[in-house]
Amino acid sequence: MISIVLVEPEGDMNIGMIARSMMNMDVENLVLVSPRTNHLSENARAFAVHAVPILEKASVVFSLDEALRGCDVSLAVTRRIGQWRQQDVFLPHWREVMSPYAGKKIALVFGREKSGLTNDEISRCDLVLTIPSSDVFPSLNLAQAVMTVLYEIYRTRWKSSHPSPYHTVKREEFQGMLAMIIETLETMGYFKTVPRERLEAYLRKLLYRMAPDETSAMIVKNLFRRIQGRLMALEKALERTDSSTPKDRP
Amino acid sequence: MISIVLVEPEGDMNIGMIARSMMNMDVENLVLVSPRTNHLSENARAFAVHAVPILEKASVVFSLDEALRGCDVSLAVTRRIGQWRQQDVFLPHWREVMSPYAGKKIALVFGREKSGLTNDEISRCDLVLTIPSSDVFPSLNLAQAVMTVLYEIYRTRWKSSHPSPYHTVKREEFQGMLAMIIETLETMGYFKTVPRERLEAYLRKLLYRMAPDETSAMIVKNLFRRIQGRLMALEKALERTDSSTPKDRP
């Protein structure tokens, strides 16, 4: 279970926006440490949109220690690099580094809009989590930082159920698609001038790179079937015209 | 080169926030299609912080076609799923799917805050890009959506130069660290009651799991060296006391 801990947040709009992104990313538990604003204001609710229940259920506590009570592991989200780099977690390595803590109670601790977390607050957390960013302007807006961390965690779960972007077709259907294309080209006499084997090999590679799924293989196959049908119909019509008015042939 | 294209954005605060996240993620090119607000307002500048130059350099155009002119590939960022899923790109698959277009001019097209992109606008883009999100509240705030997409792209580049979160120590230094721990335990007579080989094998596994880098291996080694030194000094002191006042021995 993930908790978002905000230390002394100042903007109600920010808190609302963060609640929204929490709901977007299936995280519910919001903890506010001595907030400097009303997290139930009209502004906060407007920015939360459908995530008002997250605001309403948020716990308000008076110290970071209180916020971290009961957590299995806490991460201070900051760009400040400690003396010993090994201790840091970079966000894109979340899966690799944090997998031993999957399913545990994890607190993600974010600092104030302007000044972030103090050194003392960072040292109260178990790990330091850093979002890699540009050297020219590394500091992210608070709500943007929360969104980014939540996305990385959501992404880890999402990718485990969607490991590949491709759902490629079975070989048989792939062959059927390619054969239909070749047959169509045959119908129109294409191989009178082009070597059939070479073109077929070339098209095969091109189509493999396209990585078609079942639907797209079927669409392509049917498309060529229609072209072939049309070609044959036209030729037949032409033959008829041919035999009746031979001189008009184009 | 990546461009962020915003279609009819309404909020100057949003545009400022987006400029900031672009600079955070090393993307410079902002294109506004018929903006409904002044992207150079005080509000926009305040939210952009150091990214005001991105606002100042932003191009303002009057149609999406104009915005996409000169792009090699354009992606409509939307959750709306087309009839044929194969055509969609899910954001976590960015690296796998978009690698053929690395270095090309890529336009990321985002719709209006409230109503997103129209079907016509989506169809003018080459691909549909979807950010996976919760079924209960899938729609992200505009600035949050831009941040998330920019992070995924930044992440792809970042990970190629930081493939592993671990910079593990050379075997020799790992052995040195383990040997120092064992030697220290030896000094204190630990192996009178505990089988040395079994403990050493156990500690080796534990330390491998910790995946120490050079610094942490050195720190651990030196820590035990100090413990050993202290143990030996105390024993020597005790011996001296022993021989002078034998009865006081604890």
Classify residue A152: in a domain, yes or no: yes
| Partner residue facing A86 (CB), from B21, B143, B215 | B215
Please tell me the distance in Å from A35's CA to the nearest CA on chain B: 21
The reply to whether residue B165 touches residue A47, judged by beta carbons under 8 angstroms, is: no
Q: Are residues B157 and B205 both part of a single domain?
A: no
- Tell me which chain B residues have a C-beta less than 8 angstroms from the C-beta of A17: 141, 144
Q: Are residues A195 and A221 both part of a single domain?
A: yes
- pLDDT higher for B22 or B239? B22
| pLDDT tier for residue B82 given thresholds of 50, 70 and 90 | low
Residue pLDDT, tens place only, A125-175: 988 999 999 999 999 999 999 999 999 999 999 999 988 888 888 999 999
The reply to whether residue B137 touches residue A90, judged by beta carbons under 8 angstroms, is: no
Q: Is the dihedral of CA B59, B62, B64, B69 positive or negative?
A: negative
The reply to whether residue A24 touches residue B144, judged by beta carbons under 8 angstroms, is: yes
**Average pLDDT over every residue of A189-202:** 92
Total residue count of chain B as it appears in this document: 250
Beta carbons of B122 and B87 less than 8 angstroms apart: no
Q: Are residues B136 and B180 both part of a single domain?
A: no
The number of CA neighbours under 13 Å toward the Cβ of B129 is 27
Count: domains in chain B: 2
Structure tokens that stand for B204 in this block: 């080796």
Give percent of chain A above pLDDT 70: 94
Classify residue B99: in a domain, yes or no: yes
Query: Which pLDDT does position B218 carry in this prediction?
Result: 92
Query: Which pLDDT does position B209 carry in this prediction?
Result: 85
pLDDT of B158 higher than 70: yes
| pLDDT tier for residue A242 given thresholds of 50, 70 and 90 | confident
Domain that holds residue A224: 171-248
Please tell me the distance in Å from A92's CA to the nearest CA on chain B: 6
Residue pLDDT, tens place only, A72-102: 999 999 986 655 554 578 999 999 999 889 8
Please tell me the distance in Å from A113's CA to the nearest CA on chain B: 12
- Tell me which chain B residues have a C-beta less than 8 angstroms from the C-beta of A148: 147-148, 151
Query: Which pLDDT does position A71 carry in this prediction?
Result: 93
Q: What is the CA radius of gyration of chain A?
A: 31
8-state DSSP, B32: E
Beta carbons of B17 and B46 less than 8 angstroms apart: no
DSSP A79-142: S---S-GGGEEEGGGHHHHHGGGTTS-EEEEE-BTTTB--HHHHHHSSEEEE----SSS-PPPH
Q: Of B161, B189, B211, which residue is a domain's last?
A: B161
Query: Which pLDDT does position A246 carry in this prediction?
Result: 56
Per mean pLDDT, which range of A84-93, A192-201, A210-219 is the poorest? A84-93
- Tell me which chain B residues have a C-beta less than 8 angstroms from the C-beta of A137: 20, 23-24, 49-51
The reply to whether residue A26 touches residue B134, judged by beta carbons under 8 angstroms, is: yes
Q: Are residues B180 and B104 both part of a single domain?
A: no
Residue pLDDT, tens place only, B85-109: 545 789 999 999 998 898 899 999 9
Mean pLDDT of chain B: 91
Q: Are residues B186 and B155 both part of a single domain?
A: no
Cα-based distances in Å from A226 to A145, A181, B90:
52, 11, 32
Give the residue from B85, B86, B96 with the most A CB atoms within 10 Å of its CB, the best one to mutate.
B86
Q: Of A161, A194, A217, which residue is a domain's last?
A: A161
The reply to whether residue A148 touches residue B147, judged by beta carbons under 8 angstroms, is: yes
- Tell me which chain B residues have a C-beta less than 8 angstroms from the C-beta of A24: 133-134, 137-140, 144
Residue pLDDT, tens place only, B199-242: 999 999 989 888 888 888 999 999 999 999 999 999 899 888 87
| Partner residue facing B25 (CB), from A133, A147, A162 | A133
Query: Which pLDDT does position A200 carry in this prediction?
Result: 93
- pLDDT higher for A167 or A227? A227
